Structure 1
């Protein structure tokens, strides 16, 4: 097995499809010792003394090029757990070596043995040094991304038959290799070494994982077992006749009630959607979705929908200062319950589940444009889901692909170079809150910076929520499948939002002009609104004839719609290259118009 979980295996006769058998297979997670890298990160005396090693408040930041280790203690059998943020890889790599004989020396110097993981931008290598090198495994790197923080669990664990080397990233198994060498010379205990060969200007930063003991309320979420005092309401056949005028069955949970239970018999009788409401939160389930989920479980399993309100203080990870949690966070779970067995957590849904969250039940003062729904991932990070605000009902709605801990947050981006008086400040903050635009750094937007054609396409694709279906082959020879912008250009091309500067040239890295922006913007509006034609303004800009022939009508139409405006002198300046504040403003205008 690659990872713990439950699978339902059905075997049918090839000759008679009615002859079949089903078995439920559950793989439990191994109970390995966990070694939290916490106090060691604050032990400045224990780490290799070098100018490349910088210490923060309980953190270690290591610049290249070289090997730097912690000599304060040796680590034996167990999973060493910490968070790591990797800067750019450039053409180099980062790495970790376990059970090293010495700190500060690579495994290939003076017989320094150990287990070494080499993390490159495109691949991950696992090597043993005994002391010579053996390349054990090479896999594609789809887990460790540059300029992002990851939860790392890495260990050499003594098991029956040898030493099992494990690497997990953000809770997912990346490497799981058994070293069966009976004459293994690597010591049972050794030092942790950190490798940075990505360049002197790029660093790897180690932080405590702060993974909690059960119930402490700090660190990454570990899905808990249902508490015995969490009351679940059993849905009975008599409840199925108490629907509202629109046929929806609504279940309002009282304080202390944390969900509902649906038996297989009730699921068969369901004809209308059911709503489960808890305080500010409402989930809606279609009968067919619930029946599909139930069919994947043992025959006598019941489905439990849980909505457990949490306090802002006991969520595992606190959001950063730019985020303000609005209302009550909830832990959402969908379980299959079988008498006498552990609950089975249902993590994948065949279709998203609608969620609606009442934002202002007590008149909380928030900026509606900055609101979003977030969930807490396995690494203890809050990730943006989305959210459409309805002023009439004061609700924020989204569709959930899975369950976790969810919360509504207000995100106010704070860019030092976008003061409150900047003409595009409102647009930038609103788009940043929707994670449509990002800054050049955490505190710098760079409003006068450049916008490329690919970057503007990415803004439109995020705004419209487009995804490539793979239905059309891109004709552009300058867009490679490995390019970061390949997917967004494909999505926009399939939606007929874009064309190339030439038939086979898109010019993704060239700066976008205002007339090109007008054409793409109008097509995006037509796609989202369903209006294939809009009326042009009463009169176009006075320099309309300076625009390319193919752009003149779109320019008049986007000006008429208010998607774009001219300059104070009455000119549109169609050939002018667009800056980042301009592109943010026009995308915000599109968002407001839809």
Structure 2
């Protein structure tokens, strides 16, 4: 019988024939660690224990020193610095403090003491729509997260990132790796040294940007690319009227599901989400001007480029009060206007839409509603109603956008 203790971060190990005292070497003073224990005998190995209480090796005179000591299953050592923790994706870390922050159990960031020479303010944002970031249709095993700090430049000490990924995305002869997005090259670059433990991968980085776990070929290490034959499975679309359209849109990189395996086809979609989805399909090359909406600072980072592209393309103009209202649910009449403008033809005036609720459709939207009905992009709801002021579901948004692409393709 023997025992192996493993540190997190770092993956440093120590072994012993007894569990009373196990030394783990290679640890860094000022870095906080947890430890897990695996017992081994002639039959095999046990599952890893739950992580120990976090400890931090100290310098001379400290318990464990630079080597660190893991006694009784990895609980050795002591810390003279209590870490500052956050679980909501926002952390302010004073100079000299250790920090640990997470978001919804999907990502964990561990910042050692003195990784920066100034106060740190860190934010994590999970990107729900990702215009242009999956241009080659890379297969995600996690969400894309954008991690930002309050100043430019690299850290003076490595910062540890731990990502939880979906193992069901990984097929035979495939594995996963953590990548960061190179804004200059517009490409995903692998972060070296990733250590996989169950459904988590841990890496050390010296800077923050956008990160994601991608599925890669086990032999070449290159990202797997989704194709038309790539299987798309969501837990909540089987038998849904838009099932096949949703799958097609996902394969084309227009929309994604959620990390819990669902798509939520009947959930409403916000204005920011719809514009992002539309630009993912339209793929305009612009998007470099500065937005001037009165609520620009409320637009999520992941949506700003798509909204800028829509404004520059003449598809979007916002409200008369100068706002965009990114988190507001998009109404069907607003959707009709954006789709009609994306189609590109002149929007007619003084027309009758032919829907039974014609009187409910505002004059400014009637031409757009008439146009997209005539060319087969929208059919309306039950009772030949357009329901102009009703909100749009994710399934409806996907269907309308895919219909638009189909109409443009056959013209």
TM-score, length of structure 1 as denominator length:
0.40
> Which position in structure 1 is the counterpart of 2:155?
175
Confirm or deny that 1:106 pairs with 2:82: yes
> Which position in structure 1 is the counterpart of 2:19?
none
> Which position in structure 1 is the counterpart of 2:54?
68
Unaligned runs of 5+ in 1: 1-33, 46-55, 79-99, 109-113, 129-133, 152-168, 179-193, 195-203, 208-317, 330-347, 353-373, 385-402
1:160-199 CA distances to partner (integer Å, 9 max, x unpaired)?
xxxxxxxxx9xxx941269xxxxxxxxxxxxxxx9xxxxx
Bigger-Rg structure (1/2): 1
Confirm or deny that 1:377 pairs with 2:377: no
1:479-528 CA distances to partner (integer Å, 9 max, x unpaired)?
217733333322211111112232412222221111111111121222xx
Q: Aligned-pair distance for 1:407?
A: 4.0
Q: Aligned-pair distance for 1:205?
A: 6.0
Q: CA distance change for structure 1 residues 37 and 551 in 2, over 3 Å: closer, same or farther? A: farther
> Which position in structure 2 is the counterpart of 1:443?
261
> Which position in structure 2 is the counterpart of 1:36?
11
> Which position in structure 2 is the counterpart of 1:575?
389
SS in 1 for 2:54: strand
SS in 2 for 1:585: helix
Mapped to 2, the partners of 1:206 and 1:474 lie a distance apart of 33
Q: CA distance change for structure 1 residues 435 and 58 in 2, over 3 Å: closer, same or farther? A: farther
SS in 2 for 1:480: helix
Q: Aligned-pair distance for 1:377?
A: 2.5
Supply the RMSD in Å over aligned alpha carbons: 5.3
Q: CA distance change for structure 1 residues 479 and 556 in 2, over 3 Å: closer, same or farther? A: same
> Which position in structure 1 is the counterpart of 2:401?
587
Confirm or deny that 1:480 pairs with 2:293: no
Residue correspondence of structure 1 range 231-310 to structure 2 within 5 A = none
Confirm or deny that 1:496 pairs with 2:314: yes
> Which position in structure 1 is the counterpart of 2:360?
546
Mapped to 2, the partners of 1:432 and 1:466 lie a distance apart of 19
> Which position in structure 2 is the counterpart of 1:118?
99
- Tell whether the 8 Å contact from 1:518 to 1:558 is kept in structure 2 after alignment: yes
1:246-293 CA distances to partner (integer Å, 9 max, x unpaired)?
xxxxxxxxxxxxxxxxxxxxxxxxxxxxxxxxxxxxxxxxxxxxxxxx
Q: Aligned-pair distance for 1:145?
A: 5.2
Give the alignment partner of residue 412 of structure 1, picking from 213, 224, 231: 231
TM-score, length of structure 2 as denominator length:
0.55
Q: Aligned-pair distance for 1:68?
A: 2.9
Mapped to 2, the partners of 1:458 and 1:506 lie a distance apart of 14
SS in 1 for 2:364: helix
Q: CA distance change for structure 1 residues 150 and 448 in 2, over 3 Å: closer, same or farther? A: closer
Mapped to 2, the partners of 1:427 and 1:453 lie a distance apart of 21
Larger relative contact order, structure 1 or 2 (CA cutoff 8 Å, min sep 6): 2
Q: CA distance change for structure 1 residues 523 and 482 in 2, over 3 Å: closer, same or farther? A: closer
Residue correspondence of structure 1 range 552-567 to structure 2 within 5 A = 552-567=366-381
* Greater per-residue strand proportion: 1
- Tell whether the 8 Å contact from 1:559 to 1:565 is kept in structure 2 after alignment: yes
Mapped to 2, the partners of 1:59 and 1:434 lie a distance apart of 42
Q: How many residues align?
A: 297
Q: Aligned-pair distance for 1:434?
A: 3.1
Mapped to 2, the partners of 1:442 and 1:542 lie a distance apart of 40
Unaligned runs of 5+ in 2: 1-8, 15-33, 40-45, 58-62, 69-75, 85-94, 103-108, 128-141, 176-181, 195-211
> Which position in structure 1 is the counterpart of 2:325?
507
> Which position in structure 2 is the counterpart of 1:321?
168
- Tell whether the 8 Å contact from 1:515 to 1:551 is kept in structure 2 after alignment: yes
Mapped to 1, the partners of 2:190 and 2:97 lie a distance apart of 28
Mapped to 1, the partners of 2:116 and 2:384 lie a distance apart of 67
Q: CA distance change for structure 1 residues 57 and 439 in 2, over 3 Å: closer, same or farther? A: farther
Residue correspondence of structure 1 range 363-374 to structure 2 within 5 A = none
Q: CA distance change for structure 1 residues 555 and 487 in 2, over 3 Å: closer, same or farther? A: same
